[in-house]
Structure 1
Amino acid sequence: MSAEQRVVVVVGAGPGVSGSLARRCAADGWAVGLVGNDEAALEDLASTLVPARVERRVADVSDPVTGGGAVADLARRLGRIDLLHVNPSAYREADPLHLGVEELLDDVRLGVGALLVAVQAAHPYLHPGSRVTVTGSMAADEPSAAAASLGVQKAGVRNLVRSLDTTLAPEGVRAVSVTVRGALAREGTFSHDAVAEAIWAAAHQEPGDWRAEVSYPA
């Protein structure tokens, strides 16, 4: 890999928005690292990224040892991280009267904790100009009572992104969450490719006009 080649590491990689973002980066000549808990999904995604260099690891992305270790291992092999994208969240059909505390904590561990795990593991490989992006959701502001933990996750991860952006900014590293204000679809404004393009654009904001949260559509 040349010293100039950029690297994206996608945490919680799969066939949706994260896969579209991986393909967007690969098409621009980036090397790609994929971390997820479904080996078949990672293999399928990797097959769509040819001829880009692709490294993948199967891991529990919310676990500091296995998930953090996977991110760090990919970064060592690829040499750097220019874009770290964190995608996972848990969808559980349970309203607040039926959602157990341990269920809520398990979901937050994935939907928020995975970001913490990924950034802490990636930090030694970030550099001035590196960016951290997160797939956000309007559920942070308009939660569905039928899936109460999702709104908690999305509000929490957006809050954590703001803290990370403030913490990392002196190093020249910025973080942003893209709040998707609509339901994902196969085509149109909320297609996986369209949302991935919005995440790409958010990662390429001008530093002087940086916002730690971007709504899509604007």
Structure 2
Amino acid sequence: MAELDGRTALVTGGTSGIGLAVVRRFAAEGAHVVVAGRSEERLAAVREELGDAVTVVRADVASPADLDALFAAVAARGGGLDAVFANAGGGEFAALEDVTWEHFTGIFEANVGGTIFTVQKALPLLNPGASIVLTGSNIDVKGSPSFSVYAASKAAIRSFARSWAAELVGRGVRVNAIAPGPIATPGLSGLAAEPEQAAALLEGLAAGVPMGRLGTPEEIADTVLYLASPRSSYVTGAEFYVDGGASQI
């Protein structure tokens, strides 16, 4: 039997990179996946690829109205939620002297606010034994020039995993976080201003990983599947570093 057979999962930021890899993995393991993303075109591509295994909903997690519509769609399906992968978010470089209010609020509204209110609105729909997985980053324990606001937002995600795990344990709901290192995704390449800069960025990031390479979205998806499945039934409040040893060695 597939690991998520008959279960319903929600994945935000599910149309590219890590989110899309998790959607594919969950669907392959028998789950029906509600996929939230901002791009109608990408959502249509996911629907075409995975068919009836998914329900796609256009939603920006930084928009309260979009979140209301997303969870109305989840509720309308019936059956509640067995797994939530709160993954949507992003960031960009800005040295301290260049940080603007817009830079700060844009990152925190998506990464912090979007995570808070995604999980909050999921609460009434969570089935007993449900699993919540949050996307953090190994940068929450590292220093990175010009990436301080993003790093702070991911440190908040780590704190949420601990606090919400304690708060929801009485309901039988587990909360954990993943902390990826540099992963070969469009979002990582997009941090560079020009394509030629992207190649240099990726090469430099890979050089800083003890394993000597970038990770793949599929490697992150394997970890998320573990945390979303009954195999991790005795794991809550944890943060899993999936970064080729970059934060540990």
Confirm or deny a common fold (TM above 0.5). Answer: yes
Give the equivalent residue in structure 2 for 1:132.
Answer: 132
The offset of 1:189, in angstroms, is 6.8
Rg larger for: 2
Do 2:226 and 2:232's aligned partners in 1 also have CA atoms closer than 8 Å? no
Q: TM-score, normalized by length of structure 1?
A: 0.88
Whether 1:163 and 2:163 are equivalent positions in the alignment is: yes
Distance 2:84 2:239 in 1: 16
Alignment of 1:9-28 (within 5 A): 9-28=10-29
Secondary structure at 1:56 match in 2: strand
User: Kindly tell me: are residues 78 and 28 of structure 1, through their superposed partners in 2, closer, same or farther at Cα, counting changes over 3 Å?
Assistant: farther
Match of 2:223 in 1: 198
Match of 1:48 in 2: 49
For residue 78 of structure 1, report the CA deviation from its aligned partner. Answer: 4.5
Partners of 1:76 and 1:167 in 2: how far apart? 27
Unaligned 5+ segments in structure 1 are: none
| Structure 2 counterpart SS, 1:88 | coil
Counterpart Cα distance in 2 of 1:209 and 1:74: 26
- Residues of 1 paired with 2:214 and 2:144: CA distance? 22
| TM-score normalised by structure 2 residue count | 0.78
Give the count of matched residue pairs: 212
How far apart are the structure 2 equivalents of 1:210 and 1:117? Answer: 20
Aligned mates of 1:58, 1:143 — CA distance in 2: 34
Q: Map of 1:69-148 to 2, 5 A cutoff? A: 69-148=69-148
Structure with more helix by fraction: 2
Q: Give the secondary-structure state (helix, strand or coil) at the position aligned to 2:85.
A: strand
The structural deviation recorded for 1:84 is 0.6
Q: 1:202 to 1:113 in 2, by over 3 A?
A: same
Shift of 1:90: 2.2
Task: Report the Cα offset of residue 76 of structure 1.
Answer: 2.8
Q: Is structure 2 residue 204 aligned with structure 1 residue 179?
A: no
CA distance in 2 between counterparts of 1:10 and 1:78 reads 17
Letter of the structure 1 residue corresponding to residue 234 of structure 2: G
Q: 1:96 to 1:211 in 2, by over 3 A?
A: same
8 Å CA contact 1:11–1:88 kept in 2: the answer is yes
- The answer (yes or no) to whether the contact 1:176–1:203 under 8 Å persists in 2 is no
Task: State the superposition RMSD in angstroms.
Answer: 2.0
Contact 2:131–2:227 (8 Å) recurs in 1: no
Alignment partners' CA distance in 1, 2:61 and 2:123: 16
Q: Percent identity?
A: 26
Look up the SS of the partner of 1:93 in the other structure: coil
Q: CA deviation at 1:184?
A: 0.5
SS in 2 for 1:214: strand
Partner residue of 2:202? none
- 2:189 maps to what in 1? none
Q: Which deviates the most, 63-72 or 118-127?
A: 63-72
Shift of 1:140: 1.0
Q: Check whether the contact 2:37–2:59 (CA below 8 A) recurs between aligned residues.
A: yes
Give distance in 1, aligned partners of 2:36 and 2:235. Answer: 31
Q: Is the 8 A contact 1:14 1:41 kept in 2?
A: yes
Unpaired runs of at least 5, structure 2: 186-212
Say if 1:63 and 1:18 are closer, same or farther in 2 by CA, change over 3 A: same
- Structure 2 residue identity aligned to 1:16: G
Deviations 1:24-54 (A, max 9, x none): 11111111101111111111122222352x2
